[in-house]
Amino acid sequence: QVPLVESGGGLVQAGGSLKLTCASTRTAFKDYAVGWFRQTPGKEREFVSGISRNGGNTHYVDSVKGRFTISRDSAKNTVALQIDSLKPEDTAVYYCAARRTILTDQFIRTTPGEYASWGQGTQVTVSS
């Protein structure tokens, strides 16, 4: 497991943008695929986007395609989630998660139970 810290959440108006960042202090983070999930009160944690350990493959849930962009910076040991055209329904706590994978594994897991490391979450609130 690796420690993860999310940042970048906040309160924005609909149509605005935010950039969430997931960072780890461990260099082993480069060996991990990363997923972003979100959760609202009373609902299950929902997969939003994921990226393979080498950044060669990405995946998005249909509701965010074209608005969210995931990327990773190996030099900074971070994975970012750029969120544009925010909607009120994007309001949630956003979590990053990591799972150790082999280099050739490009498949993006979408189930929370498949990720062993989790951050504490960052709140995103979109006002209409």
Q: Looking at residue 8, what is its pLDDT? A: 98
Q: Render pLDDT for 30-88 as a digit per residue (tens, 0 to 9).
A: 999 999 999 999 999 999 999 999 999 999 999 999 999 999 999 999 999 999 999 99
Burial label for 111, CB within 10 Å (0-12, 13-18, 19+), is exposed
Strands (E) in the chain, as ranges, are 5-7, 10-13, 18-23, 32-39, 46-51, 58-60, 68-73, 78-83, 92-100, 117-118, 122-127
Q: What are the φ/ψ torsions at residue 30 (nearest 5 degrees)?
A: -65, -20
Task: Give the pLDDT band (50/70/90) at residue 105.
Answer: confident
pLDDT band at 13 (very low <50, low <70, confident <90, very high): very high
CB 90 within 8 A of CB 68: no
